[in-house]
A and B are shown apart, each in its own frame.
Chain A
């Protein structure tokens, strides 16, 4: 059985930015068989964590998409980490590959459209409406 990690990324007091956390928490409540990690942002030490899994699903809010989007991730050679405040998903895979010569055989980024990222602990209606669909997509992927 593949060891699977779901990482929810977000800031729960910045409205829709917290949707990754919301999805990850609900997945943890409803399903078993995989680990869940909720973080405000990825940082270099998460490379060690990621390297220990066969499959990683990263769920994050995005203002760059208007529809739920699932993108395969690869540890691209030549990836740089220009800053340490927020390491990118591909950056963390590249770091895991460089440090531990091991990356998950499968990694995907699930982006949930976000439109309202002001100070709020509530998701906007459009983003909230996508939470269940996102959970289904991730659950189907990790349980399938």
Chain B
């Protein structure tokens, strides 16, 4: 059957470059849709030959939004190469900065990138559907969102001496102890941060009502979910084991040591995207599609060990109904806000923990292993750094498995579902395009990380027929 193709390129308000191609058949019915990532930076390759000790500083430069996650994961891979246990103080400080990373990244995603759609509507003029439009609509909402992100950034700056690309964590621990004089300053932020998280949750629930007819189309399908949990099944973000749950709420793999991730997860490639397609090996490619990140983490954990977030998790889980898991990707936003609340509560607990004031923050050792794997939960999902080194610690091979890539199959499925629901022939409206974009934004993809790509995002829409003739070309 003859086909036409609609291309949306690049997608706006996500971090990195991408385009979307929607293939239509001759009747104008959506046949397929693809989320292409066209950038390539090759971080893994050019890290070869560098010293293992440098990797925190290098890999944190993959991304300006989640550099801390790369830093911490790199440091953990370094710990494995040194074959040492780090001091408890260092471990808790790493936890603190990881939560600060979640907080600032999630706040950016919800308030800055997604809220313009929610509060102004998917059909609003694109010229106003941005942070300035949001400010015009609800100044206080925007202000509080920006300040919530600032709180996360402040923690990162206090610990790491700078907000972006801090080299603070190292193999064996962290470079500097926590300055006790800063503890009270950070604790003073907690009431405001909690109030903002609660406000955002209430706002999102109103959004759920407002868009109740749209939401069922936003990546609503069964898939696997993967993420870390603690020994007791609680939500974990720094040092847990991996759990895989199916779309009916059944745990199909559990207590997987992250260093064994290759036994369970493979990476496929397609010639139309630089972004790899990770999958769960036992089910094969592409049946082994799985989702990571907030939706996965809040779905798979047995409970959250902070009271306000746990109360919200129970409400969230009620959305699952008979399915056992919340399968609609739109609820990534809900899970993200629950994680913001969790982060604020947990940060408060850690700041009140006297252990963080300890002065022993770094264990030292020589190169004791020629291979090391680090893993932690980045804002967008589970992040793996795997390094091979020679006897001097010089890197001979590097593999980075990034959260956004692990959602690649699910993002493609989401785009296809939205295209099938909203597109009718070649009639491409701003509202339809933005709904498809918004479907991708549910995952908050960071393409800078996932392809190790860099860039900015204007918008390009192309309609192509079965012979690749461009029927429509729209840019914004």
Contact = CB atoms under 8 A, between A and B. Distances in A.
Given A44-B149, A80-B132, A99 B139 contact: yes
Interface residues of B, number: 29
Nearest to A100: B143
Interface stretch (B162-170, B202-210, B394-402): B162-170
B141 to A, nearest CB: 11
Interface in A52-98: 79-86, 94-95, 98
Contact of B131 (A11, A44, A85, A100): A44
A99 B146 contact: yes
Contacts of B113: 84
Given A40-B164, A80-B132, A45 B153 contact: yes
Nearest to B134: A98
Interface string B140-151: 001100110110
A95 B65 CA distance: 19
- Pick from A13, A40, A95 the residue with the most CB of B within 10 Å: A40
Interface string A91-127: 0001100111000000000000000000000000000
Contacts of B216: none
Nearest to B148: A45
B139 to A, nearest CB: 7
B112 A98 contact: no
Interface of A: 11, 13, 38-41, 43-45, 47-48, 79-86, 94-95, 98-100
Contacts of A86: 64
B273 interface: no
A99 B162 contact: no
Given A40-B164, A86-B64, A99-B139, A94 B132 contact: yes
A86 B64 CA distance: 9
Interface string B55-88: 0010000001100000000000000000000000
B64 A99 contact: no
Contacts of A95: 131-132, 135
15 contacts: A38-B162, A43-B163, A44-B146, A48-B146, A48-B150, A81-B130, A81-B131, A82-B456, A82-B458, A84-B108, A85-B456, A98-B132, A98-B135, A99-B139, A99-B142
Given A48-B147, A98-B132, A84 B457 contact: no
B136 interface: yes
